[in-house]
């Protein structure tokens, strides 16, 4: 047993004590990380270099890609280094930084998905007012608000977590996850973080209800469309968003709100992977790679790069 002042590092979850499996874990996470980074960077590059994609929807998709890069970069590299170096250590300050940036990017991600639902609502239900409501200034203000909320959430949860006195430095997760950290608190309840979680859940539930109502209105409008092609196009842009949104929010709520066991749990690990690693990997695919405009933009980008290399 140790108190907060004597803890200089935390011990993260070790996937295996067998060296060969540690190396396998390193390469699996490396492949996952490279695939996620590549996919999101391609989306950012395609939108940046193609003026036809300088629209509100793609502006928000670029912000989403940046957030996904940030969230996965906050946790995956450290886990890979630990497996490669056969260690479990993360410094106390390193854990604080990891918690802040992960919460910052994940919370920003969630609120941006809500903004993107509003964007689809205006585009489908009020197309004549789309350019007026979703003008450049409005989009920048919405994105800035999302990022500011992310910073405030990161600061709120980080301060709420690390004001606790820790009686153990063993974290039963492959990164510094708040619920796992709080299991090591010497007190049965940490009022600061309980307040932070309650505040976040209230805000997120509000966004959840807003998104549900928005998509009820969207699907009602889509079903009234006379054109089959119009219906297919609308559903192709809305359904992927709903899949990402529900997978992300339900897995995150389960991870944070279900009572935590005192021992390492496969369920805890599965939920952490589901809401922290899967969305950044899948977002480029379900949002953009299936999008015809993105495919055309990527083709132009590759042709341009190929020509510059051969010059």
pLDDT, residue 289, reads 59
pTM, rounded to two decimals:
0.88
Q: Quick one: residue 54, left, alpha or beta (phi over 0 = left, psi -120 to 50 = alpha)?
A: beta
Which regions of the chain are under pLDDT 70?
A: 1-6, 187-193, 230, 233-234, 236-237, 255-265, 287-290, 310-311
pLDDT, residue 189, reads 58
Instruction: State the residue range of the domain holding 177.
Output: 4-310
The pairs formed by 219-222 with CB atoms below 8 angstroms and a separation of 24 or more are 221/124, 221/125, 222/124
Domain count, the chain: 1
**8 A C-beta contact, residue 83 and residue 22:** yes
Look up the CATH number of the domain holding residue 306: 1.20.1070.10
pLDDT, residue 73, reads 95
């Amino acid at each position: 047993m140790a108190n907060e002042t004597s803890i200089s590092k935390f011990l993260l979850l070790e996937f295996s004590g067998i060296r060969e499996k540690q190396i396998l874990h390193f390469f699996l996470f490396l492949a996952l990380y490279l695939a996620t980074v590549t996919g999101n960077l391609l989306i950012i590059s395609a939108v940046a270099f193609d003026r036809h994609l300088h629209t509100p929807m793609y502006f928000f998709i670029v912000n989403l890609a940046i957030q996904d890069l940030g969230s996965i970069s906050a946790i995956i590299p450290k886990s890979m280094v630990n497996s490669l170096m056969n260690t479990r250590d993360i410094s106390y300050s390193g854990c604080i930084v990891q918690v802040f940036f992960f919460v910052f990017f994940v919370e920003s991600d969630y609120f941006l998905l809500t903004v993107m639902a509003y964007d689809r609502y205006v585009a489908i239900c009020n197309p004549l007012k789309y350019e007026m409501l979703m003008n450049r200034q409005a989009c920048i203000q919405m994105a800035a608000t999302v990022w500011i909320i992310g910073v405030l959430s990161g600061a709120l949860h980080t301060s709420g977590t690390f004001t606790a006195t820790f009686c153990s430095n063993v974290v039963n997760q492959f990164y510094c996850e708040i619920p796992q950290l709080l299991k090591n608190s010497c007190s049965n309840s940490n009022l600061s973080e309980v307040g932070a979680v309650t505040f976040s859940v209230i805000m997120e539930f509000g966004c959840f209800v807003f998104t549900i109502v928005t998509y009820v209105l969207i699907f009602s409008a889509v079903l009234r469309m006379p054109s089959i092609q119009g219906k297919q196009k609308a559903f192709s842009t809305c359904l992927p968003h709903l899949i990402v949104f529900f997978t992300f929010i339900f897995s995150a709520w389960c991870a944070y709100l279900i009572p935590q066991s005192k021992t390492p749990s496969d369920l805890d690990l599965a939920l952490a992977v589901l809401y922290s690693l899967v969305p950044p990997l899948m977002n480029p695919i379900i949002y953009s790679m299936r999008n015809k405009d993105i495919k055309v933009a990527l083709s132009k980008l590759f042709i341009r790069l190929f020509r510059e290399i051969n010059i």
